[in-house]
Amino acid sequence: MPLHTFESVPEYIAKMKKLGITQSRPNSADWYGYISFQEAMDYAIKGDSRNVQAAMKLLDDLAETIPPTKTFKVVKSPYGGRCNFGDWQSGAPLPMRRRIRTSEDQGPLKIIVSTTSSCGISAKTMQARGITILALLMRLQEIRPVDLFLLAELYGQPKGWSYQLIQMESRPLDLSVASFCLSHVGFARHLTYAYGSRCDDFNGGWPSDYSRTGYGERRRERLNLSPNDLVIGEVHAKDELVKSPKAWLAKQIQIYGGETL
């Protein structure tokens, strides 16, 4: 089964225990972010809030440059900055148009975050990336429901690809658990890699079609995503999210939580 879905992190951990998955492949301590397999399982359940303050500080540092998160809508009015010619010509009582700020929530936003990284990604880089994503989640949930999913995208049999899609508690967001799962390489490299090895013969590589044109579109199809769902893909050293996190954060807030007409 190439797509494994879980409704929560505790369900995911329970499935690993049921399958008797108790260890990951031998590797260096820094590869796993200096935590053991058991510690990764424990943190995935109880969380680790040490990066939450860093995410809050990132938002504070950008407070003057990131866009407001209240939306605007255009309403009919007896006065305003624009005139609807058709309404004016027909003598309608509200021929003008004006923008008003509204406190109404936008629709739910589904966010899928890949936890899979290229081998050159360090624990420190993964931590910085996770902090930036956590800051985005904290900002967006101020104005709209957020449905957060973690994604492991690995090589696997029989189709050459194996995905693990894990829903996280995000209404409201469990900051401590999200902080660990998003920011620590131990979650992906200990847990998701061990699960893939046991269930789908993960061999340490990317999906077999990963390097072929159109992989991103195929990934969306496999996950049955809509065009409006936000996918934060696999981690590479050259990603804007890694190289310019503040610029990436401001851009995502503008797209998914900024002022709209």
pLDDT-derived band at 86 (thresholds 50, 70, 90) equals low
Cα separation, 240 vs 249, whole angstroms: 10
Per residue in 184-203, pLDDT (tens digit) is 999 999 999 999 999 999 99
Per residue in 214-250, pLDDT (tens digit) is 999 999 999 999 999 999 999 988 889 999 999 999 9
pLDDT reported for residue 186: 97
pLDDT reported for residue 3: 97
Per residue in 60-70, pLDDT (tens digit) is 988 766 655 55
pLDDT reported for residue 190: 97
Mean pLDDT (the chain, rounded) = 89
Three-state secondary structure of 202-225: CCCCCCCCCCCCCHHHHHHHHHCC
The pTM (predicted TM-score) of the whole model is 0.84
Residue-wise over 187-220: b if at least 16 C-beta within 10 A, else e? bbbbbbbbbbbebbebeeebbeebeeeebeeebe
pLDDT reported for residue 260: 44
14: helix, strand or coil? helix
Per residue in 144-157, pLDDT (tens digit) is 889 999 999 999 99
Q: Are 222 and 229 in contact (CB under 8 A)?
A: no
Cα separation, 58 vs 101, whole angstroms: 26
Q: Which of 105, 122, 198, 96 is nearest to 154 (CA)?
A: 198
Tokens of 176: 């401590």
